[in-house]
């Protein structure tokens, strides 16, 4: 997605890997959700969109409304239901085996013996396998919420996993409204400078204060709300140091 490094046409095509890959069947989604929750779908949700809103390389996401008895607020809640594609772990292992074979082949070429040492591939493999476990994603969301609990001036929130409804293959979390930040990257907007400043401060907070980084900050994972959901006021995108008064979340 780095149009400063690659041609725009290539970046646009590669974006499909983020949210427009092949979808799995609703039957698989149904089976995984019911297995993870121990309940029938109709007993868990007031509504459930059978067509996914997005499908990535690991999982696809459906929008649903959770019944109030399963919501911390005690009221019906819009949620994102993330369900892992069937056979993901097997496909990942195949890809990693191919990468290892390619690396070994490259190291046999004169002058390339030091290229991409095996330790780099081992680390990459470890991270990739962990990404396929949605329980880890839920734990990270909890960690980010905890780390930013006293940083209201940054105006950032994270989806909240629903307790008891998370498994290795299923993650149910609160639905976050907003426009993808890609919408702002693609056009000139009076909000862009403020968005960049806020994103910079959030990044440095993760790096310098928490030593706990979000490692997948592509545009499909960053949404922007320009208005306060309570007052309806337009966000004042001043630098964080100026402590803008807007209540919108980025």
- CA distances, 181 to each of 176, 184, 192, 196, 199 (Å): 13, 5, 9, 10, 11
**Cβ neighbours around 179 below 10 Å, total:** 11
Is the Cα torsion angle 38, 44, 47, 49 positive or negative in sign?
Answer: negative
> E-strand spans in 67-202?
77-84, 161-166, 170-174, 179-180
Cα–Cα distance measured from residue 106 to residue 55, given in angstroms and rounded to the nearest whole number:
33
Residue 216 falls in the annotated catalytic set: yes
Which entry of 20, 183, 186, 216 is annotated as an active-site residue? 216
- Of 205, 196, 191, nearest to 235 by C-alpha is 191
243: Cα separation from own chain's centroid: 27
User: Which positions are catalytic?
Assistant: 216
């Amino acid at each position: 997605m780095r149009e400063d490094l690659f041609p725009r046409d290539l970046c646009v095509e590669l974006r499909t890997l983020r949210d427009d890959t092949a979808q799995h069947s609703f039957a698989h989604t149904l089976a995984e959700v019911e297995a993870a929750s121990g309940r029938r779908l109709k007993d868990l949700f007031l509504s459930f969109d059978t067509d996914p809103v997005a499908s990535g390389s690991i999982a696809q996401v459906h929008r649903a409304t959770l019944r109030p008895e399963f919501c911390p607020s005690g009221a019906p809640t819009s949620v994102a239901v993330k369900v892992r594609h069937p056979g993901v772990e097997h496909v990942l292992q195949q890809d990693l085996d191919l990468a290892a074979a390619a690396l070994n082949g490259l190291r046999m070429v004169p002058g390339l013996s030091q290229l991409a040492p095996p330790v780099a591939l081992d680390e990459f493999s470890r991270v990739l396998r962990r990404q396929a476990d949605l329980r880890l994603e839920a734990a990270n969301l909890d960690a980010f919420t905890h780390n930013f609990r006293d940083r209201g001036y940054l105006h950032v929130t994270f989806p909240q996993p629903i307790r008891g409804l998370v498994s290795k293959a299923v993650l149910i979390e609160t639905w976050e409204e907003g426009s993808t930040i890609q919408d702002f990257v693609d056009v000139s907007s009076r909000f862009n400078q403020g968005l960049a400043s806020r994103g910079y401060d959030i990044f440095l907070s993760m790096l310098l204060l928490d030593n706990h980084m979000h490692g997948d900050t592509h545009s499909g994972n960053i949404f922007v709300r320009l208005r306060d959901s309570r007052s309806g006021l337009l966000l004042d995108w001043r630098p964080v140091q100026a402590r803008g008064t807007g209540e919108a979340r980025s």
